[in-house]
Amino acid sequence: MKILIIGGGMGGTILANNLARRLSAELRAGKARITMLSASDKHLYQPGLLYLAIGRTTPDALYRDQASLLEPGIEFHVDPVEEFKLDNNQVKAKSGKTYDYDVLVIATGSRMVAEEVKGLAENAEFFYTEETALKMMRRLQEFQGGKVVITVGVPHKCPMAPLEITFMLHDYFKERGLGDKVQLHYTYPINRVHSLENVAKWAGPEFGRLGITSETFFNIKEVDGAKRILRSEEGSEVQYDLLIAIPAHRGMEVIEKNGLGQNGWIPTNKTKLNMEGRTNVFVIGDTTNIPISKAGSTAHFEAETLGENIAAMIKMGMNTPVRDYDGKVFCFIEAGLDRATYAMFNYQNPPDPKAPTRAMHWFKMAYNKLYWASARGLL
Amino acid sequence: MAEKKIIDGRGSFCPGPLMELIGVLKMSQIGDELEVLSNDKGSAKDIPEWVRKVGHEYVSTTEEDGVWHITVRKTK
């Protein structure tokens, strides 16, 4: 049985390691084979970019060699896929090589598309890549006061990021003695400050307590860099001195080019995780079109479910999943530079976040290191 | 040619039915009709409110077995 995993991000890596452990006997006996194709030989801990943007970590702390994270027995190639031939159970990669599979898992992730909004890429700061996070960090260091606007596009990766960067910036400027000279203003696409109602019920009053102003029902239309004005689809506009954006995202270009899903999101069964219309193609992480958070923890829990199901296919000949993905997501929420809370939810149960604590912040700090154990499938 | 699309937002606490609608509307054509399914009754209020504010057309809302079907049309 040939298992081919496309993508070496969080979901693909956890799944590959999970399967390698479950199928160690089958791998040794040559009855199973796990191959991973990735676009990079490096693995980036993406949540760490938030800390890089405010100068709390360095780029080297966020990377590991991808091969070093993988269990022995997993064949790893830096050879990004260019063509999916699903009817032939094959993919063709950049090297020109064709890879066959019995089971295919697509975990190619997502990318920000700030350039799709007029003026946004040129005039806003971002923290979704190493390059943009470093640029934002330098811009923040130079900033001596004024109105900082944090604005949010749809859909975006990491639903807590807008709140986290806002709370962290509040503490960052306060630490620098600029608390009285900086006005933080937050815009959000729907009619509350976060999509999760219980998170919004906590964050809204917290904004008030910290003097952070907000405007809801605000979807980014365009940015006028010369006048430093941000305009919304709803017809309002906001003046800024420093603009920080959580831009809209799309799935990867290769998904769109191959016609697997509009905007790079592949139609996926929300509990079985198979691509709609295919029984041997599965999708995890940001790449799915499941109406759920595009977050590392989503990919993590999906990968664990899928690992169990694929192993059952191989070990017991199951042709239906033994376990459903229940929509589980766990997100830390940094509420400043020294306190945090969390939200845990699934398809049936909304989250009920508690008051932020220092202990939860330190747990998050610890998780930033423990992540590498998580990627190895140990945690 | 205008299409009719279904957005199944049932069980979606985050990003939620309205955020899903906003994302899908962006990639739809003018004239497309979108029907959002939601088991959150708040959607029946929030979606029409946003659609009117942003200037798209609110078509209808029905409820069946605890699922709200909210239909809108992209107009710009």
Residue-level pLDDT at B27: 87
Mean pLDDT of the residues in chain B: 93
Rounded Cα gap, residues A207 and A168, in angstroms:
12
Q: Which of B8, B13, B75 to mutate to test the interface with A (most CBs of A within 10 A)?
A: B13
- In the predicted structure, residue A3 carries a pLDDT above the cut 90: yes
pLDDT (tens digit per residue) in A310-335: 999 999 998 889 999 999 999 999 99
> What's the first-to-final CA gap in chain A, in angstroms?
27
Q: Is A122 exposed, middle or buried (0-12, 13-18, 19+ CB in 10 A)?
A: exposed
Across the interface, whether the CB atoms of A345 and B13 are under 8 A apart is answered: yes
Across the interface, whether the CB atoms of A154 and B23 are under 8 A apart is answered: yes
Across the interface, whether the CB atoms of B15 and A191 are under 8 A apart is answered: no
What's the CATH number where B13 sits? 3.30.110.40
192-211 of A, contacting B, C-beta below 8 A: 195-197
**Beta strands across the sheet bearing B4-8:** B4-8, B33-38, B67-73, B57-64
pLDDT (tens digit per residue) in A84-103: 999 999 999 999 999 999 99
The amino acid that residue A259 corresponds to is G
* Cis, peptide link before residue B15, omega less than 30° from 0: yes
- In the predicted structure, residue B1 carries a pLDDT above the cut 80: no
Beta-bridge partners for A357: A340
Q: Do domains A2-109+252-328 and A113-249 have the same CATH topology?
A: yes
Instruction: Flag whether residue B27 sits within 8 Å of chain A, measured between CB atoms.
Output: yes
- In the predicted structure, residue A27 carries a pLDDT above the cut 90: yes
Mean pLDDT of the residues in chain A: 97
Instruction: Flag whether residue A37 sits within 8 Å of chain B, measured between CB atoms.
Output: no
- Structural domain containing residue B37: 4-73
* Cis, peptide link before residue A72, omega less than 30° from 0: no
Residue-level pLDDT at A145: 98
Name the residue in chain A with its Cα closest to that of B36.
A291
Residue-level pLDDT at B38: 94
Instruction: Flag whether residue A217 sits within 8 Å of chain B, measured between CB atoms.
Output: yes
pLDDT (tens digit per residue) in A153-186: 999 999 999 999 999 999 999 999 999 999 999 9
The active-site residue, picked from B1, B13, B14, B26, is B14
Name the residue in chain A with its Cα closest to that of B38.
A291
Contact call for residues A253 and A244 (beta carbons, < 8 A): no
pLDDT (tens digit per residue) in A119-134: 999 999 999 999 999 9
By Cβ distance, the residue of A217, A263, A293 closest to B15 is A293
Is B4 marked active-site? Answer: no
Residue-level pLDDT at A127: 98
CA torsion sign, A269 to A275 to A276 to A280? negative
Give Cβ neighbours of residue B33 (< 8 Å, ≥ 6 apart).
Answer: B2, B3, B4, B5, B59, B71, B72, B73, B74
Residue range B22-45: mean pLDDT, rounded: 93
Residue range A258-280: mean pLDDT, rounded: 97
Residue-level pLDDT at A242: 98
- In the predicted structure, residue B25 carries a pLDDT above the cut 90: yes
Contact call for residues A328 and A350 (beta carbons, < 8 A): no
- Cβ count near A101 (within 10 Å): 21
Residue-level pLDDT at A16: 98
Beta-bridge partners for A98: A92
By Cβ distance, the residue of B14, B15, B53 closest to A234 is B53
The dotted CATH code for A113-249 is 3.50.50.60
Listed in order, strand segments (DSSP E) in A197-339 are 213-215, 220-224, 229-232, 237-239, 242-246, 249-251, 281-283, 329-334
Q: Is A317 exposed, middle or buried (0-12, 13-18, 19+ CB in 10 A)?
A: exposed
Q: Where are the domains of chain A?
A: 2-109+252-328, 113-249
Across the interface, whether the CB atoms of A195 and B42 are under 8 A apart is answered: no
The dotted CATH code for A2-109+252-328 is 3.50.50.60
Cut 0.90: pTM above it: yes
Beta-bridge partners for A330: A344
pLDDT classification of A1: cutoffs 50, 70, 90? very high
